[in-house]
Amino acid sequence: MQGVIDNDPYLWLEDVEGEAALAWVAERNAETAAALATGADFASLKDRLREVLDASDRIPYTVRRGAYLYNFWRDAGHVRGVWRRTTLEQYRKDTPEWEVILDVDALAAAEGEKWLWAGARVRHPEYDRALVCLSRDGGDAVVVREFDLATRTFVEDGFQVAEAKTRIGWIDADTVFIGTDLGPGSLTDSGYPRTVRRWRRGTPPEEAVLVFEGRSADVSAGAWHDSTPGFERDFVFRLLDFHRSETYLLAPDASLVRIDVPDDADSYAHREHLIVSLKSEWLGHRAGSLLAFGFDAFLAGDRTAEVLFTPDERTALSGHSWTRHHLILETMRDVSTRIEVLTPSPGGGWARKPLADVPALSAVTVVDTDPDISDEYFLDVSGFLQPSTLYHGQVGAGSEILKQAPAHFDTTGLAAEQFFASSLDGTRVPYFVIGPDRSAPGPALLYGYGGFEVSLTPSYGALTGRAWLERGGTYVIANIRGGGEYGPGWHRAALGADRSRAFEDFAAVASDLVARGITTPAMLGAAGGSNGGLLMGAMVTRYPHLFGAIVAKVPLLDMLRFHELLAGASWTAEYGNPDNEADRPHLRALSPYHQFTADRVYPPVLLTTSTRDDRVHPGHARKAAARLRELGHPVLLHENTGGGHAGAGDNEQSAHNNALTHAFLWQHLTQQVRPASG
């Protein structure tokens, strides 16, 4: 059969830095540039997207650490970015005075490395030292260096860790928990830490005391120190797979006490509470519920829970955040956010009331809170056509508008609506449509993800607005199964051999758009990245007649070898294990790379990836491009040399990649004519 590859002729393209592979990539990049990135229209589009990314009037979102609000910022003058801080008093101003803590551009220039910011672990509650993580050109692997926040310098002879997928966190001023690459046996099959050690200042990491270890087949192991004053505790965990874990209290005598919750539940200690988020039914509580127990009572065997949230068929938990005396709860009803405050009562029970009114088809996000001292919160509200507004408040004491983002694209004549499509098995699938009121079908772009319980909620997308909506296109977001829009059951419905349900949902939305007269197959494009790239591959092979063009970014496409490539082994709980004979048949059927065939007409395809993506191997996109070329199908490949799994390491690369995507889609979807599918 033409669509099946038993002896892969393109394995050589998996050699990430191989001379032959990179030469082949350079040829494909040149083809893509010639097809899409020439002429004044492309240059103008890219410049307008770069303008959004570099805009000085963006909201600089912050995280409170003690007296300061910290922010990481990139713009035209700070390509790699600056880590900086200010006070709330200054932050209220239109132009706050920022104290630069670390200039990543200056560091990269001084050291001759393409450093990118990968975050910092700041010591709590002193906020005097940080463990700064730096990525070389965007990979998930980082180097770690200790940083003095008072002197704004790296600590000579401080904690330093060589490049690896490291887990590290403070215990006290001279001790950290660390899991990193210390040679054979220290990593799992997925490439993450297998062991946890207590590392004291001034000693080699190889001599750090082993406190916990997982198994090679686990995704990873780790530890953290709860530094809440009066509730100091140590915890270790095994991530058994992407959806199951075991957590233990690490006692002072080094003994382990299992936090005995279901292994698919998320749990953590907060002061006197143990908070448990359920993914399956437990103790009579529904999957998707949020429960609170007394921590000490739970360890003593008491399973009396206070129910903080119970889902229904239309409502799911989106997130929650603590202030000093309250819990802020974010929920979704048909994928629109609601928010309320829960307050524990001294005699038991929790009082609840709304925190803020949220407009329809909008999203509200708790940006930051102060769980140690105050009931402060920072709240961001936005919508598809509504730029972000950042509120600052105290629970029970009102709020103020701190920042408002300006509009970055013209919304005249545009509207946002929600519709529901009926999938193949009758499931009701929600989707959002943003665009003009159409009297006739026009170009439309359908986006989806459908995996790992990730929810696609309303948000303001300035890049999409400028590149697509302003030009008359319609933008559509499909909330298909595999995501978390309706809780754990919505995710589980598309796991493993049932992954095809996510594909059917997406195809149902595509068909519904046509039935409503919003677009036609020739004018409908689709885009998705990572797991969404697998979704795009399925659209090419299963539903080519529904689309006029498809873009797959940093995609997962070879489902028989994904577990052998970089972090792929960590995703077998989501898809299945190719080494398991029971899973292999459905993985072969799901694998776009193995289903490409010459005897069907496929829509034009653009594949994008990054040489520095150490999460989803660039070989997926490379091999798919080679196979499609071999079979005579229209395909372009763009591989950025840096950027990691994000595909872009700075605003210039991001603007270029987005311009390529939209130039490709507009070019093909405004032709309006395609030959019929075979």
pLDDT at 292: 97
Question: Do both 540 and 525 map to the same domain?
Answer: yes
> Dihedral angle at the C-alpha atoms of 127, 129, 131, 136, nearest 10 degrees?
110
In order of 108, 195, 270, 527, 559, the CA distances from 563 in angstroms are 34, 21, 36, 24, 8
Question: Do both 602 and 514 map to the same domain?
Answer: yes
Domains contained in the chain, number: 5
Residue 393 placed within a domain: yes
Residue where a domain terminates, one of 381, 406, 431: 406
Residue 675 placed within a domain: no
Cis peptide before 125 (omega within 30 of 0): yes
Question: Do both 572 and 662 map to the same domain?
Answer: yes
Residue 30 placed within a domain: yes
Question: Do both 515 and 580 map to the same domain?
Answer: yes
> Dihedral angle at the C-alpha atoms of 457, 463, 464, 467, nearest 10 degrees?
180
Angle at 501 between CA 563 and CA 662, to 5 degrees: 80
CATH number at residue 479: 3.40.50.1820
Catalytic residue among 530, 570, 591, 610: 530
pLDDT at 676: 38
pTM: 0.94
The single residue listed with the structure tokens 């819990």 is: 327
Where does residue 263 fall: left (phi above 0), alpha (psi -120 to 50 degrees), or beta otherwise?
A: alpha
Question: Do both 195 and 340 map to the same domain?
Answer: no
Query: Residue 677 is encoded by which pair of tokens?
Result: 């599918």
Active site residue 186: no
Question: Do both 512 and 652 map to the same domain?
Answer: yes
Strand partners, 353: 341
At 393-452, the pLDDT tens digits run: 999 888 999 999 999 999 999 999 999 999 999 999 999 999 999 889 999 999 999 999
242 class by beta-carbon count within 10 Å (0-12 exposed, 13-18 middle, 19+ buried):
middle
Residue 413 placed within a domain: yes
pLDDT at 649: 84
Residue 677 placed within a domain: no
Residue where a domain terminates, one of 377, 406, 435: 406
Question: Do both 215 and 125 map to the same domain?
Answer: no
The single residue listed with the structure tokens 């990269």 is: 108
Residue where a domain terminates, one of 290, 310, 330: 310
Query: Which of 249, 333, 319, 262 shows the shortest CA–CA distance to 290?
Result: 319
Q: What contacts 32, CB < 8 A, 6 or more positions away?
A: 606, 636, 637, 638, 660
CB 113 within 8 A of CB 135: no
The single residue listed with the structure tokens 């059951």 is: 489
pLDDT at 2: 53
Question: Do both 416 and 540 map to the same domain?
Answer: yes
> Dihedral angle at the C-alpha atoms of 646, 648, 650, 652, nearest 10 degrees?
-140
Residue 56 placed within a domain: no
Question: Do both 330 and 247 map to the same domain?
Answer: no
Catalytic residue among 392, 617, 633, 645: 645
pLDDT at 671: 78
Q: What contacts 264, CB < 8 A, 6 or more positions away?
A: 243, 244, 279, 280
Active site residue 645: yes
- Centre a 10 Å sphere on the Cβ of residue 257 and count the other Cβ atoms it contains: 12
Q: What contacts 171, CB < 8 A, 6 or more positions away?
A: 177, 198, 225, 234
pLDDT at 1: 42
Residue 174 placed within a domain: yes
Positions in the chain whose pLDDT score sits under 50: 1, 673-678
What is the residue range of 302's domain?
264-310
Question: Do both 637 and 500 map to the same domain?
Answer: yes
Question: Do both 603 and 468 map to the same domain?
Answer: yes
pLDDT at 5: 74
319 class by beta-carbon count within 10 Å (0-12 exposed, 13-18 middle, 19+ buried):
middle
| Element holding 621 (H helix, E strand) | helix 619-630
Residue 48 placed within a domain: no
pLDDT at 674: 42
Question: Do both 588 and 456 map to the same domain?
Answer: yes
pLDDT at 677: 37
